[in-house]
Amino acid sequence: MDEAWQRAVETALGGEDPSTAQALMLDGCVKCSQGRLPPRSLLEQLIQLTTLSIANTGISTLADFPRLARLEQLSLSDNRIAGGLDHLVEAGLHSLRDLDLSNNKIHSLEDLSPLTRLRLVSLDLYECPVTKVPNY
């Protein structure tokens, strides 16, 4: 699976130097049968990255989320994420402002509580089960 992610990142970068890339779109490029993110070491070389989209890849866990200090926009929509949002906090995403978790499997407000430690301006939960919780 790591090789598939490696090829997907190289293709998405289109020859751009990873250390200068500011945006990376990996939407639908890999289908994760194990639900894991791309290897941390692969993404952490993208030190200038401000926008990352890993939508529609089957991700179910955010464990080992890469440290991307400049990341401002993150899209994880259309995956199988049900919790573990504390991994985003542990990754030190202090610049993160926009987070798209739409169409994931987040069921409770408690699952969202780690996000209070981030400085989000926008949180998209469209089509997540949590939006049907009373007084959401």
Mean pLDDT of 36-53: 97
Question: Is pLDDT above 80 for 25?
Answer: yes
Mean pLDDT for the stretch of residues 45-71: 98
Beta strand spans in the chain (E): 23-25, 51-53, 73-75, 98-100, 122-124
| Helix%, strand%, coil% for the chain, nearest 5 | 25, 10, 65
Q: What residues does each domain of the chain span?
A: 2-132
- Architecture of the domain made up of 2-132: Alpha-Beta Horseshoe (3.80)
Encoding tokens for residue 111? 């699952």
The set of residues, in sequence order, having a beta carbon less than 8 Å from that of 41 and lying 6+ positions away, is none
CA atoms within 13 A on the CB side of 14: 7
Please tell me the predicted confidence (pLDDT) of residue 1.
67
